Structure 1
Amino acid sequence: MISVRNHRPQLSGNKWLILVLVAVIGACSPKVQPVSKPVAKTKTEKPDKKPEDKPVNKPSAKHSEAKPSVISLILPLGLDHSVAGQKFSRAGLEKANMSVEYYQGFKLALDSVAKEGANFKLHIYDSKDDAAQAHSLGLNPQIKASDLIVGPIFPEDIKAFTSTLGKRGKPIVSPLSPAAPATFKNPDLVTIIPPLEYHAKGAATYIVKEEKPKKIFILTSGYSEEKQYTSPFKQTVDSLSKRKIQVITTTISRGNLTPLVKQLSTSDQNIFVVPSTKQAFLMVTLRSLDALAKSYPVTLYGHPNWEKFAFLKATLLQRLNTHITSSDKVEYKNGNTVNFLRSYRKVYQAEPTDFAIKGFDEGLYFAKLLADGEDMTHPEFDDFRGLHNSFHIIKKRGEGWVNSHVDILKYENFYLKKTE
Structure 2
Amino acid sequence: MNPSRTFSSLALIISVMLMMQACSIFRPAATKTDGPPPELSKPKPVEKQPETKQPETKAAPFNVPAFAKEVKRDNYRIAVFAPLYLDSVFATSLEIPGRTMPRYVMAGLEFYEGVQLALDSLQSRGMQLTVQVFDNKGRTNDVATVLRTRQLDNTDLIIGAVGAPEFRLLSDFAKQKEINFVSATYPSDGGVTENPFLLIANSTLRAHLEAMHDYAQRGFANKNIIILRRNTSFEAGMAGNIKAAYEKMTYDKKARVRELVWSDATTEGELSQVLLTDRPNLIIITALDEVGAKSILRKLAPQKGTYPMQVFGMPTWDGMKFKEPEFSGITMYYSSPYYNDKTDIYSKYVNDQFRKIYKARPSDMAFKGFELTWYFVNLLHQDGIYFNKDVNKPANRAFTTFNFQPVYLKDGEAVPDYFENKNIYIIQKGDSADFRMNTAL
TM-score (norm 2): 0.76
Equivalent in the alignment of 2:287 = 276
Preserved CA contact (<8 Å) 2:350 2:362: no
Moved more, 232-241 or 114-123: 232-241
What do residues 24-61 of structure 1 show as CA deviations (whole Å, max 9, x unaligned)?
A: 565252248xxxxxxxxxxxxxxxxxxxxxxxxx8863
Deviating more after overlay: 138-147 vs 312-321? 312-321
* Structure 2 counterpart SS, 1:137: helix
Q: Does 1:368 align with 2:378?
A: yes
Shift of 1:173: 1.5
For the Cα contact (< 8 Å) 1:169–1:377, is it kept in 2? no
- Bigger Cα displacement from structure 2, 96-105 vs 21-30: 21-30
Q: Which position in structure 2 is the counterpart of 1:249? A: 259
Q: Displacement of 1:268 after TM fit?
A: 1.4
Paired AA for residue 123 in structure 1: Q
Distance 2:125 2:268 in 1: 60
* Alpha carbons of structure 1 residues 25 and 252: separation in structure 2 relative to 1, 3 Å: closer
Secondary structure in 2 matching 1:282? helix
The residue number in structure 1 matching 2:183 is 174
Pairing 1:4-23 to 2, within 5 Å after superposition: 16-23=9-16
1:35 corresponds in structure 2 to none
Q: 2:210 — aligned with what?
A: 201
Matched, 1:79 2:90: no
Corresponding letter in the other structure for 2:347: T
Give how far 1:270 is off: 1.2
Question: What is the deviation of 1:159?
Answer: 1.9
Equivalents in 2 of 1:183, 1:93: separation in Å? 33
Alpha carbons of 1:168 and 1:124: their partners in 2 closer, same or farther (altered >3 Å)? Answer: same
What does the per-residue CA deviation read over 1:356-386, in whole Å, with 9 as the maximum and x for residues that have no partner? 1100010000111111133427542114485
**Residue-by-residue CA offset, 1:278-322 (whole Å, 9 max, x unaligned):** 444433321221211111211111111112123x22765551221
What is the number of residues matched between the two proteins? Answer: 380
Q: Which amino acid aligns with 2:107?
A: M
Cα deviation 1:251-279 (Å, max 9, x = unaligned): 12334242343553322111111111344
Give the structure 2 partner of residue 100 of structure 1.
109
Is this contact kept in 2: 1:152–1:161, CA < 8 A? no
1:170-221 Cα offsets, whole Å, 9 max, x none, are 2011111112253465332111111111111111111111113453111112
AA matched with 1:17: L
Q: 1:382 to 1:315 in 2, by over 3 A?
A: farther
Q: CA deviation at 1:69?
A: 0.7
1:372 partner SS? helix
**Could you say if the C-alpha distance between residues 245 and 123 of structure 1 is closer, same or farther in structure 2, counting changes exceeding 3 Å?**
same
Q: How does 1:99-178 map to 2 (within 5 A)?
A: 99-128=108-137, 133-151=142-160, 153-163=162-172, 167-178=176-187
Give the SS at the match of 2:165. Answer: helix
The 3 A distance-change label for structure 1 pair 132 and 30 is closer
Structure 1 partner of 2:434: 416
Identity across the alignment (%): 20
**Is 1:238 aligned to 2:207, yes or no?**
no
Contact 1:201 1:232 in 2 (8 A): yes
Q: Which amino acid aligns with 1:167?
A: Q
Amino acid at match of 2:278: S
**Residues 101 and 352 in structure 1, CA contact (< 8 A), matched pair in contact too:** yes
Rounded to whole Å, the distance in 2 between the matches of 1:97 and 1:144 is 29
Deviation at 1:68, TM superposition (A): 0.8
Partner of 2:21: 27
Which one-letter code corresponds to 1:29 in the other structure? C
Within-5 A mapping of 1:236-385: 236-240=245-249, 241=251, 244-253=254-263, 254-310=265-321, 312-313=322-323, 317=327, 319-376=329-386, 378-384=388-394
Unmatched 5+ stretches in structure 2 = 1-5, 33-71, 409-415
The alignment yields a C-alpha RMSD, in angstroms, of 3.3
1:261/1:111 CA distance change after superposition, 3 Å: same
- Structure 2 Cα separation of the partners of residues 334 and 28 of structure 1: 26
Range moving further from structure 2, 330-339 or 382-391: 382-391
How far off is 1:119 after superposition?
Answer: 1.1
Deviation at 1:88, TM superposition (A): 8.7
State whether residues 22 and 130 of structure 2, in contact with CA within 8 Å, keep that contact through their aligned partners in structure 1.
Answer: yes
Task: Indicate if the aligned counterparts of 2:160 and 2:182 stay in contact, CA closer than 8 A.
Answer: yes
Alpha-carbon contact 1:151-1:174 (below 8 Å) kept: yes
Rate the CA distance shift 1:89–1:143 in 2: closer, same or farther, 3 A: farther
Query: Residues 167 and 190 of structure 2 are in contact (CA less than 8 Å); yes or no, is this contact kept in structure 1?
Result: no
| Further displaced range: 342-351 or 102-111 | 342-351
C-alpha distance in 1 between matches for 2:252 and 2:141? 48
Output the CA distance in 1 between the equivalents of 2:75 and 2:212: 42
* Paired letter, 1:308: G
The answer to whether the 8 Å contact 2:157/2:385 transfers is: no
Q: Give the distance between the partners of 2:22 and 2:437, measured in 1 at CA.
A: 43
Which secondary structure state, in structure 2, belongs to the residue aligned with residue 271 of structure 1? strand
Instruction: Please report the TM-score for the alignment, with normalisation by the length of structure 1.
Output: 0.79
**CA separation of 1:95 and 1:380: change in aligned 2, threshold 3 A:** farther
Q: Secondary structure at the match of 1:390?
A: coil
Residues 162 and 321 (structure 1), Cα distance of their counterparts in 2 relative to 1, 3 Å cut: closer
Query: Aligned residue for 1:389?
Result: 400
Task: Name the structure 2 match of 1:68.
Answer: 75
**Correspondence 1:407 to 2:425:** yes
* Cα gap change, 1:219 to 1:299, in 2 (>3 Å): same
Instruction: Return the letter of the residue paired with 2:425.
Output: D
For 1:401, the aligned partner's letter is F
**What's the offset of the Cα at 1:248?**
1.0
Alignment partner of 1:141: what SS?
Answer: coil
Structure 1 CA distance for aligned equivalents of residues 195 and 140 of structure 2: 17
In structure 2, distance between residues paired with 1:154 and 1:131: 18
